[in-house]
Amino acid sequence: MTTTIERPEVITPEELGGPEGHHPDALHGDADHGHHEGPSGILNWLTSTDHKVIGKSYMITSLVTFFIAGIMAVVIRAQLLDPHTSLVSYQTYNELFTMHGSLMLYLFAGPFAFGGLANYIVPLQVGAPDMAFPRLNALSYWLYLGGVITMLSGFLVAGGAASFGWVSYAPLSNATNSPGAGADLWLMALALTGFSAIFTGVNLVATILYLRAPGMTMFRVPIFSWNMLVTAILILIAFPVLFAAVVMLFCDRHFGTHIFSVEGGGSPVLWQHLFWFFGHPEVYILALPYFGMVTDILPVFSRKPVFGYKGMVFATMSIAALSTGVWAHHMFTTGVVLLPFFSLLSYLIAVPTGIKFFNWIGTMWRGQLSFQSPMLFSIGFLLIFLVGGVTGVLLASPPVDFMTHDTYFVVAHFHNVLIGTAVFGGFAGFYFWYPKMFGRMLREGLGKLHFWFLFIGFWVTFMPQYLLGLHGMPRRVASYAPDTGWTTLNVISTLGTYVIGFSFLFFLINLMVSWRKPVPSGPNPWDGHGLEWFTSSPPPHHNYTHLPPIRSERPTWDYNHPEHRTVVHKPKGKKFAAPNKGDKETVGAPS
Amino acid sequence: MATALTWVDATAHRPLLSTSNYMSSPASVIAVNAPSTDPTDPSQHRVSGMRRGWITALIVGAPLVLAGCNAYPSYGADPGATKQGSDTFKLYSGMMTTGIVIGGFVAVLILWTVVRYRRRSDEMPKQFHENLPIEILYTAVPVIIVGFLFFFTVLTENNVDATQPVNATVTSTGRPVVDITVTAFQWGWRFDYTGLNVGVVGETTNGPNNKGPQMVVPAGETIQITLVSNDTVHGFYLRDFNFSRYAQPGVTNIFDLNVLHTGTYDGQCTQFCGLYHSEMLFSIRSVTPSAFESWASAEVTAGHTLQGSPSGAGNIPPPNTRTTPANAGPSVASSATPKQKASA
Ligand code: HEM
Ligand SMILES: [Cu+2]
Ligand SMILES: [Cu+2]
């Protein structure tokens, strides 16, 4: 790469002054802040290399993708409302769940986190003027947008979109079984977004490692940015493997190779290995950013520092390390993998995940909790992800996996995980940082309505699916017989989906209201902790005109509450604990 | 062709591997008198004693309400119609109890924290963080818990995956395991009883009310399934057996099933395999060994033999000669299926 790194233009921090005094309360956009000269309007958008513009583009695109995939979910559930409903044909149903899963995972949950929120927030959190490679960042977005369009265009070609599930198992995905162009478009889309993810990963690593503001040591980087660093490394491990697998499959389909076909001496199981070697780290690529968001949000609304900062960092790193060694837990029923090994490693992931839970609880412990929308969504995340985590531990056991594999039990499990993280965590992050990005508030009442309908709708939709799976309903079925006894639970699940769908009306209205009748947010509406709350909302072109002294992972808080800095927990019966060694400045008890 | 049978009701018995004599010939079924299983069989005792100890250990102090009076609450699952399936069920039940206790504890902790520490004043909370003893505690305890879970997982897994040599004799019955090759294809199943020269095949794209082909097996005996696929990956799954296994091209999977009771159990393909995946049904009917004998000989008489003539369903070619249709459309369904590809 020949792109030059722009060094952050850091202005010497002023002495500890009055909180928030000198910040321009802003409703005006980036261009208003002086030294940015460039085209405006659509040309600005097309040519921008500003991480904030790219981040917003990513976010809008991925939210649109989320809504499209969500509408597909509603159609899927409507089809299953009754046995033998024929709302859509079998073929269409198969296309719909394939596209629903693919859009949600490849094009929403990932890009929303690392292309959208992380792109916007990480440079702000570490005090950088932009991403390390701004032009590469723009390329990422355009590749991603190309990927979205490519994947959706499958619906327009003869033969329809890809219909082999989001995992595209060989040999169902070969040229004989999936002859249409839809399958090729699906592969192309993965190649495009794969590269976009890799470039974003490179960018995040470089930004977090090299563009931190003076004073921002690694152990003062906020947890969200830490998690993005680890996520980015996982992206660099996983996505090249996916790309390689996609190329191989493409060669099988078009160039007569037999990498995944038995006839030519290849191995269909090899596809599963390659895919899941990508696929399981991908699960954490999707989860870690949202863990990070929640870890940044809980302290703000508890008015306390995160409980075990280093514990969180090490938990994240061990989750990432373990996640590269558990892929075959998706293949227990193939009969060709070493069960105890993959089972044990999968179980072990529960340990750092448990550490995170106790840290989240410890963060709220003896705090002063207030329940604005970001906090509500974060608590929703905790409860929903908890159930996904527990059922995940069950699935780490090969015999239990045998009995539930490819049934609705698994569908319920991964929605518990994915909706917990990407939807509850993601919307927590969105409600939290929206004021920073747009300089205006979202309405609390509408946010709470959104939360409660979504939260209740979630349980109504997915708890019955656990039971359906245990009662034997396989996933990816377009119909079922009336005598299976699955009808009632399916009806409940579908009604829950309608509630979920309804909840997003409040979200859309909220956006509209905030757009029509803006309520200015000011730089720091939540009494935030991270550096990002120090600058104006939205931030000026290169993010900072001033920086506070950075002495902990929450410089803005320290600046605003000089008398309430972090102290080491005082164990009972002992004298006040010794100051933390290392980077954290520990001051006396606030009494 | 089958010899006359004298068979003790086999519903309660579990075959054990032994070296007693047996006889077998490819096209006939031989049965020997079967003593019923001794309920005090030490090998059974060992297993259930261990399980009971485990449950006790894991839910010490847990609200007994959860488990009720039953050591193995079902939590929506079937207790398992096979020996293997009931092992799995007990593991599932124990793990679910553990999960509910631990998950419940954490959930209550979260909710309690949320309610207890809701903002009541503008007073600033103490800005504490870190507490090494607690951090060590909440790292070590989960390690121990997953260690337990892993231990019992491995025990169960070994039981479920154990296979007997095909020619092994079952003490109680004196007969070799029933060896059935199951071939999955788009979209149906073929069951070949290798030792008995019986072949059953059925395709399931004949409309939504078709229940697919039926595999008949003797209750209480060891059935050894050799699972293969003719085209894509399929999933051989029976809810009541708490079991599934992929049928994959290029892979031969072998596993044993010991159906405990007589009855009919629905099965279905669970791994997505193309257009008619949702209709790829089958069932297993477990009958007394004597009924099994007569069924097998009747099948042979009817000409439903290995890889040979079709069984009931008509013109389905035997495995490995059938060309796979593209999953694209109505042509595969012929006249029978009402579903048509939408012009999306
Ligand atoms: C918003 C509410 C949602 C509903 C009601 C919903 C519903 C469903 C249903 C019913 C299926 C099973 C289809 C089948 O097996 O026949 C499914 C599959 C799936 N969903 Fe969702 N979903 C939702 C959101 C999400 C989200 C947010 C994600 C990921 C971030 C997601 C990822 C997936 C994936 C990966 C599959 C598997 C697709 C496949 O089998 O290939 N879903 N969804
Ligand atoms: Cu995984
Ligand atoms: Cu199938």
Q: Is A487 exposed, middle or buried (0-12, 13-18, 19+ CB in 10 A)?
A: middle
Instruction: Please tell me the total count of domains within chain B.
Output: 2
Instruction: Check whether B179 has a pLDDT greater than 50.
Output: yes
Looking at the fold, whether B194 and B231 belong to one and the same domain comes out as: yes
Q: Does B331 touch chain A (CB under 8 A)?
A: no
**Partner-chain contact B208 A268, CB within 8 Å:** no
Distance CA A381, CA A376 (A): 9
Cα distance between residue A389 and residue B141, in whole Å: 16
B154 at A interface, C-beta within 8 A: yes
Task: Answer yes or no: is B285 within a domain.
Answer: yes
Q: Whose CA is nearest to atom 40 of ligand 1?
A: A165
- Asked if residue B304 and residue B183 are part of one domain, the reply reads yes
Residue B120 lies in a domain: no
Residues B270 and B194 in one domain: yes
Residue A19 touches partner B, C-beta closer than 8 Å: no
User: Facing residues of B189 across strands?
Assistant: B184, B202
Examine residue B29 and state whether it is found in any structural domain, yes or no.
no
**B316 and B182 in a common domain:** yes
Residue A577 reports pLDDT greater than 50 = no
Domain of B143?
A: 56-115+132-161
CA distance A464 to A492: 7
Q: Are residues B66 and B195 in the same domain?
A: no
Is B133 in the A-facing interface, judged by CB distances under 8 Å?
yes
If you measure from the C-alpha of residue B283 to the centroid of ligand 3, how many angstroms do you get, rounded to a whole number? 15
Return the ligand 1 atom nearest residue A461 CA.
5
CA of A326 to the centre of ligand 2 (A): 6
- pLDDT tens profile A310-320: 999 999 999 99
Contact assessment for residue B124 and residue A368, using Cβ atoms and an 8 Å cutoff: yes
Q: Note the pLDDT of residue A10.
A: 43
Instruction: Round to whole Å and give the CA distance between B2 and B27.
Output: 9
**Is B314 inside a domain boundary?**
yes
d(CA B320, CA A245): 28
Q: Is A403 on the interface with B (CB under 8 A)?
A: yes
For chain A, give the percent of residues with pLDDT over 70. 89
pLDDT value, residue B126: 87
* Chain B residue numbers touching A355 (CB-CB < 8 A): 135, 138-139, 142
List all residues whose CB is within 6 A of at least one atom of ligand 1. Answer: A 70, 73, 76-77, 97-98, 100-101, 104-105, 109, 165-166, 411, 415, 418-419, 422-423, 461, 475-476, 497, 500
| ipTM greater than 0.90 | no
Residues B216 and B263 in one domain: yes
Q: Average of pLDDT values for B285-304?
A: 89
What pLDDT digit, counting tens, does each position of B70-124 carry? 788 999 999 999 999 999 999 999 999 999 999 999 999 999 999 999 999 888 8
Look at phi and psi of residue B314 and say left if phi exceeds 0, alpha if psi is from -120 to 50, else beta.
left
Is B50 contained in some domain? no
pLDDT at position A137 is: 96
> For residue B183, is pLDDT > 50?
yes
The alpha carbon of residue A401 is apart from the nearest alpha carbon of chain B, in Å, by 8
d(CA B245, CA A4): 54
Judge whether B196 lies within some domain.
yes
Nearest by CB to residue B88, choosing from A94, A400, A571, is A400
Expressed in angstroms and rounded, the spacing between residue A69 Cα and the centre of ligand 1 is 9
Q: Which of residues 326-345 of A touch B (CB under 8 A)?
A: 333-336, 339-340, 343-344
Task: Supply the CATH number for residue B243's domain.
Answer: 2.60.40.420
Of A163, A168, A275, A415, the residue with max ligand 1 atoms within 8 A of its CB, to mutate for a pocket test, comes to A415
Query: pLDDT tens digit string along A157-210?
Result: 998 999 999 999 999 999 999 998 999 999 999 999 999 999 999 999 999 999
Both B211 and B108 in one domain: the answer is no
Tell me whether B123 touches chain A (CB under 8 Å). Answer: yes
Query: Which atom of ligand 1 lies at the shortest distance from residue A419's CA?
Result: 27
Given an 8 Å threshold on Cβ–Cβ distance, is B135 in contact with A308? yes
CB atoms near residue A546 (< 10 Å): 14
Q: Which residues are bridge partners to B17 per DSSP?
A: B170
Residue nearest to atom 3 of ligand 1 (CA): A73
Q: Are residues B145 and B260 in the same domain?
A: no
pLDDT band, residue A572 (cuts 50/70/90): low
- Supply the DSSP symbol for A506: H
Is the pLDDT assigned to residue A580 strictly greater than 80?
no
When comparing pLDDT for B160 and B17, which is higher?
Answer: B160
Residue B314: pLDDT band by 50, 70, 90 thresholds? very low
In this predicted structure, which of A56-70, A127-141, B18-32 has the lowest mean pLDDT? B18-32
- For A478, the closest of B102, B128, B278 (CB atoms) is B278
Closest-lying ligand 1 atom to the alpha carbon of residue A475: 15
* Cα–Cα distance measured from residue A588 to residue B215, given in angstroms and rounded to the nearest whole number: 76
**B16-20, B193-197, B253-257: which is most confident:** B253-257
SS3 assignment, position B158:
helix
Q: Which residue has the higher pLDDT, B279 or A32?
A: B279
Domains present along chain A, CATH in parentheses:
38-521 (1.20.210.10)
Q: Is B44 domain-assigned? A: no
Q: Classify A549 in phi/psi space as left (phi over 0), alpha (psi -120 to 50) or beta.
A: beta
Nearest CA to A397 out of B88, B52, B46 is that of B88
Residue B187 and residue B270 share a domain: yes
- Closest chain A residue to B88, measured at CA: A399
Query: Alpha-carbon Rg of chain A, whole angstroms?
Result: 24
Interface check for B226 against chain A (CB to CB < 8 A): the answer is no
Q: What residue's CA is closest to ligand 1, atom 29?
A: A104
Cβ-based neighbours of B51, under 8 Å, separated by 6 or more = B90, B94, B152
Cα distances (angstroms) measured from residue B55 to each of A329, A335, B46, B67: 25, 28, 15, 10
Quick one: tokens of A498? 């309608």
A466 in contact with B at a CB cutoff of 8 Å? Answer: yes
For the segment B141-159, the average pLDDT, to the nearest whole number, is 94
CA distance A507 to A27: 21
Chain B residues touching A361 at Cβ < 8 A: 106, 109-110, 113
b/e per residue B161-188 (b: at least 16 CB within 10 A): beebeeebbbbbbbbbbbbbbbbbbbbb
Same domain, yes or no, for B189 and B295?
yes
Q: For residue range A417-448, what is the model confidence (pLDDT) as tens digits?
A: 999 999 999 999 999 999 999 999 999 999 99
The whole-angstrom distance between B126's CA and the closest CA on chain A is 7
Q: How far is the CA of B84 from the centre of ligand 1 (A)?
A: 31
Choose the mutation target among A333, A375, A581 for the interface with B, i.e. most B CBs under 10 Å.
A333
Q: Which of A166, A402, A473, A576 to mutate to test the interface with B (most CBs of B within 10 A)?
A: A402
Q: Of all atoms in ligand 1, which is nearest to the CA of residue A462? A: 5
Question: What is the dihedral angle through the alpha carbons of A93, A95, A99, A101, rounded to the nearest 10 degrees?
Answer: 60
Please, which pLDDT band fits residue B195 given cuts at 50, 70 and 90? confident
pLDDT band of A560, cuts 50, 70, 90: very high
Tell me how far apart the alpha carbons of residues B170 and B20 are, in angstroms, rounded to a whole number: 7
- Helix, strand, or coil here: A465? helix
Question: Confidence class of residue A589 from pLDDT cuts 50, 70 and 90?
Answer: very low
Give the ligand with the smallest distance to the CA of A425. Answer: 1
What average pLDDT does the structure give for chain A? Answer: 89
**Mean pLDDT, residues A550-557 taken together:** 91
Q: For a ligand 1 pocket test, name from A104, A276, A423, A459 the mutation site with the most ligand atoms within 8 angstroms of its C-beta.
A: A104
Number of inter-chain CB pairs under 8 A, A vs B? 314
Please state which of the ranges A345-354, A441-450, A477-486, B44-53 shows the lowest mean pLDDT: B44-53
| Residue among A303, A355, A360 whose CB faces B125 most closely | A303
- Asked if residue B9 is part of any domain, the answer here is no
Mean pLDDT rounded to a whole number for chain B: 73
**Helix (H) / strand (E) containing A77:** helix A51-79
B131–A470 CB contact, under 8 Å: no
Element (H, E) at A149: helix A134-152
Q: Quick check: B78 and B240 in contact, CB under 8 A? A: yes
Å from CA of A449 to ligand 1 middle: 23
Residues near A184 by Cβ (< 8 Å), separated by ≥ 6?
A: A250, A253, A254
Q: Residue B51: is its pLDDT beyond 70?
A: no
The reply to whether B181 and B157 lie within a common domain is no
Hey, is the C-beta of A402 within 8 angstroms of any chain B C-beta?
yes
Which tens digits make up the pLDDT trace of A367-419? 999 999 999 999 999 999 999 999 999 999 999 999 999 999 999 999 999 99
A477: chain B residues, CB-CB within 8 Å: 277-278
Q: Which residues pair with B181 in a beta bridge?
A: B192, B226
How many helices (H) and strands (E) chain A has is answered by 18, 1
A364 chain-B contacts, CB cut-off 8 A? 113-114, 117
Residue indicated by tokens 């410890």 = A362
* More reliable by pLDDT, A493 or B27: A493
Answer yes or no: do B85 and B201 share one domain: no
State whether residue B26 sits within 8 Å of chain A by CB: no
Q: What is the pLDDT of residues A292-338, one digit of tens each?
A: 999 999 999 999 999 999 999 999 999 999 999 999 999 999 999 99
What pairs with residue B169 in β-bridges? Answer: B18, B176
| Burial (Cβ within 10 Å: 0-12, 13-18, ≥19) of residue B242 | buried
Pairing of strands B188-193, B17-18: unpaired
Specify the pLDDT at position B312: 35
Question: Cβ B88–A358 below 8 Å, yes or no?
Answer: no
Say which ligand is closest to the CA of A413. Answer: 1
